[in-house]
Amino acid sequence: MQISETRYAIDPPTAKTLDTDGLRKHFHVDGLFAAGEIKLVYSHYDRMIVGSAVPNGKTLTLDHDDATGTAGFLDRRELGILNIGEDADISVQGTTYRVAKGEVLYVGKGAGPVEMSGNGRFYLLSTPAHHEHPTKLITLKDARRVEMGSRETANERVIIQFLHPEVHETCQLLMGYTQFSAGSVWNTMPAHVHDRRMEAYLYYDLDADQRVFHFMGKPDETRHIVMANEEAVISPPWSIHSGVGTGSYTFCWAMAGDNVDFTDMDMVAMEALR
């Protein structure tokens, strides 16, 4: 089964008027990782699609979605797939890739149907593409690691970059995840914005009775969304994207927009936050 939803872009003045339910309706993505289903959310922010696939021991095929307006899902798109479950298989153009937990499969424009099988829990991220790049399995050994933060500020972490110009070339999709040292819970603080790119977060490896408070909004007009395990959030280009957990967690980040320069961001001074 494949279930699709469309989210339209809104501007900062409109977002400012929303209550908790309104914010969640526009930016919070729950109900992902349902057994036996592919779920897709088409965002009008840079046309990114956020989704999931849980084969549950069978095979699920991503081949078409009405929202793209093309016969095949990847006719004019690229795709990044992160496995957050058990080792499982993904087949593309006659080649089967064994994808372990924490690994990413990049699937290029024009690759055709994507078959996912086994007991993996696949997180899907797709953006429009103008060029065909080769499909590639990117392991932890292949990924780029950047250590940041400190124990004193509770944000000691390692950023593991999979879809990054120094790892594997893409059209516009950047993707990776961040893991924390013991006792650290803050992500992306000090905050920043990048008006040239949107971003999406998936919070996972979070205990069922714990939560992450995800902060969004203009720097001088911040709001928050409470996130449970395996829930995602869409971050507009004009918004900060930061969070703090009541327990340990991992989050997958992905960006789409004008360029693939990971450091293209505008920092926000702590005293500017409101």
**pLDDT for the residue numbered 60:** 98
pLDDT digit string, tens, across residues 140-196 = 999 999 999 999 999 999 999 999 999 999 999 999 999 999 999 999 999 999 999
Residues forming a β-bridge with 225: 214
pLDDT digit string, tens, across residues 180-217 = 999 999 999 999 999 999 999 999 999 999 999 999 99
Mean pLDDT of 88-107: 98
Q: How far apart are CA 189 and CA 204, in angstroms?
A: 19
List the Cα angle 46/251/148 in 5-degree steps.
Answer: 105
pLDDT exceeds cutoff 90 at 261: no
Q: What is the pTM of this model?
A: 0.97
Q: Which two tokens stand for residue 75?
A: 């006719």
CA 126 to chain centre: 9
- Name residues whose C-beta falls within 8 Å of residue 88's C-beta, 6 or more positions apart in sequence: 55, 98, 99, 116, 117, 118, 119, 120, 122
